[in-house]
Structure 1
């Protein structure tokens, strides 16, 4: 998929407003736009010593090899730090590695300032030395915000090492950190020059974190891509067991590759025409209406994708009770969640908390609910009239619906961790 710029870089002549520039009250209207273009690349073997992709991405030919500040998640550094250092050495790139503990509880401005301090100490060039972020969605969000603030805009590259980063957190324009008890309340729009996805990183990912990413893939499958849903329905458990790798896969990695490609394509197809979110009616908000409050209330028990899955299960029940989603399709969705050992409920999900979550979403969406609900599998609609009674009834019905599937573990966020 080719992502075209949302707008063309251009400006109109600066014109004084009003009948006469000589009048005492003078007004000038400035109108301009900025072209946006970035790449998301499925790039196997990214750390192979002879592969120049990472060393040259985002840099003009005449400025290579140059210098790089590489910001790496602490867990990733423990697993891949030696290879990362060796790679840049072999590519003759003058580099420094800055290691960050990146997890939801420290996704804050304090951590952003630590990254900014490292950038300042390294002496980042404002335009020609992109910072490289290697880690999960939390790490890439932190680096994205830091680079957007440093000298008002510094380029960066994203190398997601988690599935959720590869298909969701690492491919859009948004950056963000938490503020008080609010998920991603502070942030900017600052897309990276490129996102480089290498499934090799998933080989060291835990089953729980793979499922966490599959939850975001399931999001797009339910509301946009029935074929993708079929892949998860048929092969979901195997994808986790095989860690979405090609080597050792029963089908040579064909399904894993198609799942990745479809998930990324469907996400970018929704993001590209509305990159700055001028339109708040967003299909990609499925699973993200209640989950921000649920996730923060349950920290550190729930991962992001797990909270999203709870939101999706709840929203699917709302859709079913409204006649938008048939019983068979509802059961198919819940069974996929169960097969992936994803949670559909958590003890923090009280009626009051879910009502508060929806109220917070209404504020976030400019006074409207704009709640995406599935219509069958592969389509969705938006509603604006969910009542408190509906919320309470759907929440009460959810455990019985799950129990009716014979699931013993759908309420556990930690099965197979």
Structure 2
């Protein structure tokens, strides 16, 4: 056999210095993103047979890790659904927000898996909650017995369009955002937009930041839709209470997910470090961890985007009129342009240095070119950062836009 002959020759060539073996293998990756509103309605069978790789039958067992805030709102509905369909579900409520996204949360999930006596082949763990919850559960599942399947059911907008559709898991370590993590795709992610109706508007804005990210680097059409309908869709919590709002909400969500998956699919393991989806994630990990608990993830990302829009404006990649449109949309979506941590000496320079270590010694910094396009640069200077921060502060003097339909509700982190 040709391959066997080549292997033998290679072995003979190495025999004087000792044998050398080289093993190459390719592992196929397949996962599903399934959209279905009202997942836990008793007559909705999507969770039972909507995905062929994870069928759920009467008599099956499932460990369900439920964000404790989601448990307060939907816990009875979730338990009733599984009981109605003959599934023996053990529900484990878990606090899951950025302040506790640490190793201890992972061990609590591992303890639950161990106590449950999970069958790592046939009993995928089900994670129901925001992006923090699904990150924690996904990380724990990737470690338990070197890999246990899991299913994600995100309940936040950022979970639907960002955290729920990729393959990365992770938790924070000291001041390092997601410093511990793995590449571990969920077998399936089920998207249910009805969960968004119970979110306060701050968390709707949090998810809109990641949608705006995709618009700025990939789609002028998506940006225009956010510009024309984003504030109204936000106030409506993506529930589609009119035909126009339903069409806008459907398009915004589906287009942002499509663009995200289009970028992720050919580079799931990040073999190429020039990733346009890293836009908004150069300075934001440091900003977010220094500002905790003042900023949510999407809020930190949009501060990063405001800063890099200013960098692009300084370089002439974005016109003054385009920058004004971007900042106006940020305001209209109820998002901040800046944060007081930007005034900390050397914070942005240190953030860029940390990102350079993460990107193999180069900045590989995606910057917007106009609206809907991007380019990568490696030569941003500390002087440029200071000037860009000044421009953002000048724009940030305006108060964030508030819809007349909005009423203040304290953010329920993790719901």
TM bucket, shorter chain: over 0.9
1:242 aligns with 236
Q: C-alpha offsets along residues 34-74 of structure 1, whole Å, 9 cap, x if unaligned?
A: 00011111111211112222234465659765110000000
1:73 aligns with 67
Does 1:84 find its partner at 2:89?
no
Distance change >3 Å, CA 363–CA 251, structure 1 → 2: same
Q: Are 1:409 and 1:415, in contact at CA under 8 Å, matched by a contact in 2?
A: no
2:274 aligns with 281
Does 1:298 find its partner at 2:291?
yes
2:400 aligns with 409
CA distance in 2, matches of 1:22, 1:41: 53
CA distance in 1, matches of 2:365, 2:251: 29
Provide the aligned length of Structure 1 versus Structure 2.
Answer: 400
Q: C-alpha offsets along residues 241-266 of structure 1, whole Å, 9 cap, x if unaligned?
A: 111013x2352511100100001000
**Larger RCO of the pair (alpha carbons < 8 Å, separation 6+):** 2
CA distance in 1, matches of 2:407, 2:311: 26
Normalization by structure 2: what TM-score? Answer: 0.92
Q: Are 1:341 and 1:416, in contact at CA under 8 Å, matched by a contact in 2?
A: no
Does 1:140 find its partner at 2:134?
yes
Does 1:317 find its partner at 2:305?
no
> Structure 1: 5+ residue runs without aligned partners?
1-11
Q: How does 1:51-200 map to 2 (within 5 A)?
A: 51-56=44-49, 57=51, 59=53, 65-200=59-194
CA distance in 2, matches of 1:326, 1:23: 65
1:7 aligns with none
- The offset of 1:395, in angstroms, is 1.0
1:271 aligns with 264
Q: Are 2:337 and 2:395, in contact at CA under 8 Å, matched by a contact in 1?
A: no
Instruction: Answer 1 or 2: which has greater helix percent.
Output: 2
The CA RMSD over aligned residues, in Å, is 2.0
Residue number among 215, 225, 237 corresponding to 2:219 in the alignment? 225
Q: C-alpha offsets along residues 102-145 of structure 1, whole Å, 9 cap, x if unaligned?
A: 00011111110000000011111111111000000000000000
2:376 aligns with 382
2:413 aligns with none
What's the secondary structure of 1:31's corresponding residue?
A: coil
Distance change >3 Å, CA 116–CA 356, structure 1 → 2: same
